[in-house]
Structure 1
Amino acid sequence: MHIKTPPGIDHSPRWKQRPSGSNWGDFGADDQAGRMNLVTSEKVLQGLAEVREGRTFCLSLPLDFPGGNALNEKRHPPVLRPTLRNGHPNMNYRMRDEHSHLTDVLCDDLAILHLQYSTQWDSLAHIGQLFDANGDGIPEPVFYNGYRAGIDIIGPNAAADAGLPPTATAPSTSAARALGIENMAERCVQGRAVMIDLRAHLGEQRTSVGYDALMRIIDHDRLEIESGDMVCLHTGFADALLAQNRQPSAAVLNGIGAELDGRDAGLLNWITDSGLAALISDNAAVEALPAGHTDGCCAALPLHEHCLFKLGIHLGELWHLTPLATHLRRQGRYRFLLTAPPLRLPGAVGSPTTPVATV
């Protein structure tokens, strides 16, 4: 494993000191792409070189999975509704009337989406931290590369301005003016990816995976992870969601699938040193939730803090990896071409995605 060292630190007027172990400024004072900068044209060519069969895999769950809100009480399934046309629902709408002989029958709809309900990307505006970026001894809410809450990432103060809108024309009251998901979309998100098949080694039971366990799997399967690779973790969790057919049981899901131990310092150091550009899992958060003992301090989501806040590593969650992982293992392979852009939705802090693997 090796990582290409970016140019020297480019200090930003937004911060005087950066978090320990972070790469703020390494890709430029105003960088909003983070480690996606490592997905270069060379990485795209490396991904294309992994295409031998011309076979494709859809890595997205149906976007109405998991179903309900047992997995996350704040997020709800998508709502599909027809648009309105001449005072009528625009679904199976017949253009013909008494004044014409048109034969068209039209359907047109809209969607109300919780953007991180199903298969998704986290943007770098998804998780920030209280950190003394000013160097004055007073921590303030900041995000990757020192972008500021209330200035670069804005939102409402009133509960009435959050949640589902009372009307379809309600104005937007929040936006990531920096670090929004559109920055990721504009980079296309295509390159070489690596599958780490945790399920094949650890089974389907809930397991916390730290550095030592992960290294044993990587060594056993002779995996090589290089700078700019996107790393996928197969746990089987998404299969359990599909089996529950949109009626998820939290009691059942809490016992299924491996999770990374975000409190393991060795694991976090490996994420830094490996140079991986994105970290993706088929479970709900990549890392274990809850993350373990904190003594009432520090980040509740330490791997999210390390990846999104410190290093600018986008996280993918709730991907459907089993068919691909099974095929790769049968073929004795672990690398593939991944194409996975999010929605180019300015200001969004997360996005659904329909990733495609090509082998």
Structure 2
Amino acid sequence: MALPKEFHEIARRVNNWGRWGAGDETGTLNLITDEVVRAAAGEVRTGRRVPLALPLRQDGVQTGVIPGRVNPLHAMVQLNQELFGPGTVACSDDVVTMGLQAGTHWDALTHVSHSGTLYNGRPADTVTAHGGAEFGGIDKVRHLVSRGVLLDVAGARGVERLAGDHAVTPEDLAAAEEFGRVRVRAGDVVLVRTGQVRLYLAGDRHGYGHPSPGLSVRCPEWFHARDVAAVANDTLTFEIFPPEIEDLWLPVHALHLVEMGMPQGQNWNLEELSTACGETGRYAFLLSAMPEPFVGATGTPVAPVAVL
């Protein structure tokens, strides 16, 4: 089924192809300039560090709904092995097999395509079985440190967790700005809290995934107008699931990654951060969220840290 006219109209309004040159592979991360990072460092007042990643574990957020996206399978390959004879230093080593988007992660710009194209008009078939992403892989993102802003939509609405059928709207984002007495500006990384991860933390893996609140198809225009560098939230699907428009699957993914060239993150744990921001009355902070540089990968695990 072809994408509807409504999708293509939004796509035209948020499209960034060519904005940073025909060969650009990092999209809106170009908005994180040296000046933006310098200003972000000024947000640090207490030095309090808040981790935002879920633990990588075999009973993680994946339930088998998405084929191949397996939770980490961890195995030991050496146990206190004395490599140079008895009485010498011993080593323990381990290996892991996992889906790169299985836990807290970033989606690279090549994670989705639509109409046969990737960001900047590159052909979707440049992602291959053996080489992965020839263009725009996560390894092209060499650093990701900026001003982070928590838009606590659940907090602004006075609830611990949004209802499963709640589509986060631009009005919700603006209300969360007011709630946090903060203003999103160019080059920011926006973290949108729905509270949905509370289900996973309470042991309800299936309820965490579906039904899920998430971003509405109306949000990309809000982020585009503010020149946001990247967005992450605390859900499995990022956007509302099931979709708000019948049979229109993953439209926000396509608008962010393909049209805007804006990375997005899922499965971020924003609960401790919400508490910390509430205690300090400050919803902006220095955010370090460096992607693991897997060459040709369409996503990567990340262990973000907010510094208040």
Answer yes or no: same fold by TM over 0.5. yes
Q: Which has the larger radius of gyration?
A: 1
The Cα of 1:72 is off from its aligned counterpart by 3.7
Would the alpha carbon gap of residues 243 and 291 (structure 1) be closer, same or farther in structure 2, given more than 3 Å must change?
same
Provide the secondary structure at the position in 2 that maps to 1:20.
helix
Native 8 Å contact 1:95 1:102 kept in 2: no
Native 8 Å contact 1:71 1:250 kept in 2: no
Match of 1:59 among 48, 52, 55: 52
2:249 match: 300
2:63 match: 69
Provide the secondary structure at the position in 2 that maps to 1:110.
strand
Partners of 1:325 and 1:71 in 2: CA distance: 29
Partners of 1:68 and 1:279 in 2: CA distance: 21
2:202 match: 243
Deviations 1:89-118 (A, max 9, x none): x2222346xxx5443221112211210000
Partners of 2:119 and 2:145 in 1: CA distance: 22
Native 8 Å contact 1:237 1:283 kept in 2: yes
The Cα of 1:81 is off from its aligned counterpart by 2.2
Native 8 Å contact 1:180 1:349 kept in 2: yes
Partners of 2:195 and 2:102 in 1: CA distance: 18
2:154 match: 199
Unaligned runs of 5+ in 1: 1-18, 84-89, 131-140, 156-172
Deviations 1:244-288 (A, max 9, x none): 1xxx442465356x42212x3xx3321210111001101112211
Partners of 2:208 and 2:179 in 1: CA distance: 30
Provide the secondary structure at the position in 2 that maps to 1:224.
coil
Task: Read off the aligned partner of 2:278 and give its amino acid letter.
Answer: R
Match of 2:12 among 10, 20, 25: 20
* 2:116 maps to 1:146: no
* 2:86 maps to 1:80: no
Native 8 Å contact 2:177 2:184 kept in 1: no
* 2:60 maps to 1:108: no
* 2:114 maps to 1:129: yes
* 2:183 maps to 1:234: no
Native 8 Å contact 1:240 1:253 kept in 2: no
Normalising by structure 2, we get a TM-score of 0.88
Provide the secondary structure at the position in 2 that maps to 1:107.
strand
Partners of 1:58 and 1:290 in 2: CA distance: 29
Provide the secondary structure at the position in 1 that maps to 2:99.
coil
Partners of 1:101 and 1:354 in 2: CA distance: 38
Native 8 Å contact 1:229 1:277 kept in 2: yes
2:5 match: none
1:325 match: 274
1:276 match: 228
Task: Read off the aligned partner of 1:338 and give its amino acid letter.
Answer: L
Pairs aligned (count): 292
Partners of 1:252 and 1:57 in 2: CA distance: 22
Native 8 Å contact 2:167 2:244 kept in 1: no
Partners of 1:313 and 1:281 in 2: CA distance: 14
Partners of 2:176 and 2:62 in 1: CA distance: 34
Partners of 1:354 and 1:229 in 2: CA distance: 18
**Matched-pair identity in %:** 29
Is the deviation greater in 53-62 or in 197-206?
A: 197-206
Provide the secondary structure at the position in 1 that maps to 2:79.
coil
Would the alpha carbon gap of residues 142 and 58 (structure 1) be closer, same or farther in structure 2, given more than 3 Å must change?
same
Provide the secondary structure at the position in 2 that maps to 1:92.
strand
Provide the secondary structure at the position in 2 that maps to 1:239.
helix
Would the alpha carbon gap of residues 255 and 126 (structure 1) be closer, same or farther in structure 2, given more than 3 Å must change?
closer
